[in-house]
Amino acid sequence: MRSIVAKGAPARPWLGATIASGGKVPAAEIVICSYCDTVHRRAEVPGRRTMRCVTCDSPLYRGNGDLSAMLAVTVTAVIAFIVANALPLLTLTSGSSQTRATLWRAIMASYDTDLPFVAIALTLTLIVAPAVELCLLLWVLVPLCLRTRPFAFLGTMGLLRTLRPWRMMEVFFLGVIVAVVKLSALATALPGWGMFGVAVMTFALAALSSFDQGALWRRAEQVAP
Amino acid sequence: MIRGVDVRLAACESCELVLNMRDVEPDASAVCPRCHAPVRFRKRNARTQVIALLVAALALYFPANVLTIMYTDQFPERRADTILSGVKFLWERGSWELAVIVFAASILVPILKLGALGFLVVSATRRSAWRPRARTKLYRALEVIGHWSMLDVFVVALLTAVVQLGQFARVAPGPAVLPFAGVVILTMLASASFDARAIWDRGMRE
């Protein structure tokens, strides 16, 4: 075993250490930066810090690989998702008539008034995509937390990876706020409890992407070699 | 610094497992033993794909901004808004903060993304040594802000849907919605196709 250089490690402990060329290190201890291809040796992460690449400063991996915490956040997101869909997003008052607009009623209304394209696009991005993603996460996390291998693990992880870049909850959240302001020209619009659900879900999904996804793979390898 | 391609190590893009690729040609791919995804040193045909997607996005950028994105019909007033006049409308209603956000998300971000990705592809192709770290940061910023441009599409769809519930007005999406959504999706695909390692393949400083 040749020497292992830990460049920058003492001065900036959150940086991954770089292995010297030819140094024999088990593959599980190597991390390669996906932005610049620099090879690092995996080091202990102090706290929940993000380890960054010594060459290009991109995030390499995170210390937060606690699967039960990840499950807890997922359950929070599921509850928030139900609240966001069941309770009115906003209340419209125009003259004497008052309308409580839940997401689903709004979608159905646009479907009935010959705007099926809008209805389908909203259903897919705001109801189907988050519901599928949360179900897949539960599908993977519950068995892993119980230390068994999830059924169809590879396919599920592949689907989750495909869906992740298209997650748009936070954009939708801002979209509702802009819509409320624009609506105030036409009627009196007030945000409802459904908005609260959307807000919590936005933060829960953001928290989910701050977990170390590699922890899922490592746990799956432990429970079924 | 040691680079994966020099010591024949590559990480699986889908599960991050590091593979010893000693017997694999630089352009060939191996199969990840953990998740069965193909593993290669660099994304295949990255440059061609990025350029093709950028050209398509640029072509859609003009109809997206010139055509009407939303019709509003509340007796006796009838409006047809483009993205820019929608921003003006928000500004005049007194919520200049939202006007700035929508202007940034809908007009500034798409054109900046097109320009920045074009710059990254050209500089990487020319094997430029100019500030590779800053260029990598620029690329990561593009990845983060990419989907925020969908904001206007959501606003139009939501307004259309919500207004159907009350009987006080009519809102309908205009012909600009599809090209606009197209610009956002194509630029997102373009930045996903770019391989940031190309920035470092010759511009590497010791």
- Dump the DSSP string for chain A: ------TTTTTSTTBPEEPPTT----GGGEEE-TTT-BEEE----STTPEEE-TTT--EEEES---HHHHHHHHHHHHHHHHHHHHS-SEEEEETTEEEEE-HHHHHHHHHHTT-HHHHHHHIIIIIIHHHHHHHHHHHHHHHHHTTSPPTTHHHHHHHHHHHGGG--HHHHHHHHHHHHHHHTTTSEEEE-HHHHHHHHHHHHHHHHTTS-THHHHHHHHHH--
* A136 has pLDDT over 60: yes
Domain extent for A172: 67-223
Whether the predicted pLDDT of B188 surpasses 80: yes
Give residue for tokens 């093709």.
Answer: B52
With an 8 Å Cβ cutoff, are A186 and B163 in contact? yes
Q: What is the average pLDDT score of chain B? A: 88
CB B152 within 8 A of CB A171: no
DSSP state of B166: S
For residues A122 and A94, state if they share a domain: yes
Give a yes or no: residue A53 inside a domain: yes
β-pair partners for A41: A17, A30
The kind and range of the H/E element at B64 are: helix B46-66
Q: Are residues A42 and A98 in the same domain?
A: no
Structural domains in chain B, CATH included, are 1-41 (no CATH), 45-203 (1.20.140)
Task: Classify residue A12: in a domain, yes or no.
Answer: no
Establish if A153 belongs to a structural domain. yes
**Residues B175, B181, B182, B184, Cα dihedral to 10°:** 140
Residues A48 and A77 placed together within one structural domain of the fold:
no
A107 vs B161: CB contact, 8 Å cut-off? yes
- A163 within 8 A of A199, measured Cβ to Cβ: no
Encode pLDDT of B74-120 as tens digits: 777 888 999 999 899 888 877 788 899 889 988 999 999 999 999 99
Specify the pLDDT at position B4.
Answer: 86
Closest-CA residue in chain B for A6?
B1
Q: Please give the structure tokens belonging to residue A168.
A: 């748009």
- Domain match, A125 and A42 both: no
Whether the predicted pLDDT of A105 surpasses 60: yes
Percent above pLDDT 90 for chain A: 31
Read off the tokens for B178.
Answer: 């599809």
- Tell me which amino acid residue B173 is: P
CA B1, CA A194: separation in Å to the nearest integer?
Answer: 51
- Number of structural domains (chain A) is 2
Partner-chain contact B154 A175, CB within 8 Å: yes
Question: Counting Cβ atoms within 10 Å, is residue A2 exposed (0-12), middle (13-18) or buried (19+)?
Answer: exposed
Whether residue A3 is predicted with pLDDT greater than 80 in this model: the reply is: no
Burial of residue B27 (number of CB atoms within 10 Å: 0-12, 13-18, 19+): exposed
Residue A7 inside a domain? The answer is: no
Q: How many Cα atoms sit within 13 Å of B166 on the Cβ side?
A: 27
A86 and A58 in a common domain: no
- Pairing between β-strand B30-31 and β-strand B18-20 as defined by DSSP bridges: unpaired
Nearest CA in chain B to A92: B166
Residue A130 has pLDDT above 80, yes or no: yes
Q: How far from each other are the two terminal CA atoms of chain B, in whole angstroms?
A: 7
Task: Determine whether the interchain pair B14/A95 forms a contact, defined as Cβ–Cβ distance below 8 Å.
Answer: no
- Residue A16 — very low, low, confident or very high, per pLDDT cuts 50/70/90? very low
The tens digit of pLDDT for each residue in A193-216 reads 999 999 999 999 989 988 888 889
Residues 6 or more apart from A21 whose CB is under 8 A from it? Answer: B2, B6, B7
Q: Give me the pLDDT at residue B140, please.
A: 94
Pair B47, B36: CB distance under 8 Å: no
On whether both A95 and A184 belong to a single domain, the answer is yes
Quick one: which of A70, A201, A200 has its CA closest to A130? A201
Based on the fold, state whether residues A58 and A87 are members of the same structural domain.
no
On whether both A131 and A74 belong to a single domain, the answer is: yes
Which of 19-78 (A) contact B at CB < 8 A?
Answer: 19-22, 27-28, 30-32, 34-39, 54-58, 61
pLDDT band per the 50, 70, 90 thresholds, residue B164: confident
- What pTM was computed for the model? 0.85
Domain boundary among A62, A82, A117: A62
**Do A57 and A71 belong to one domain?**
no
Longest dimension (CA), chain A: 81
Residue A202 maps to a domain: yes
Q: Is the peptide bond before B76 cis (omega within 30 degrees of 0)?
A: yes
Q: What is the pLDDT of residues B67-78, one digit of tens each?
A: 999 898 877 788
Q: Is residue A156 part of a domain?
A: yes
A167 found inside a domain: yes
Is A185 found in the same domain as A112? Answer: yes
Same domain (yes/no): A114, A74: yes
- Please say whether the beta carbons of A188 and A96 come within 8 A: no
Residue that is last in its domain, among A62, A77, A97: A62
Distance from CA of A2 to the nearest CA of B (A): 14
pLDDT at residue number A25: 64
The answer to whether residues A128 and A211 belong to one domain is yes
Going B18 to A57 to A160 to B191, the CA torsion angle's sign is negative
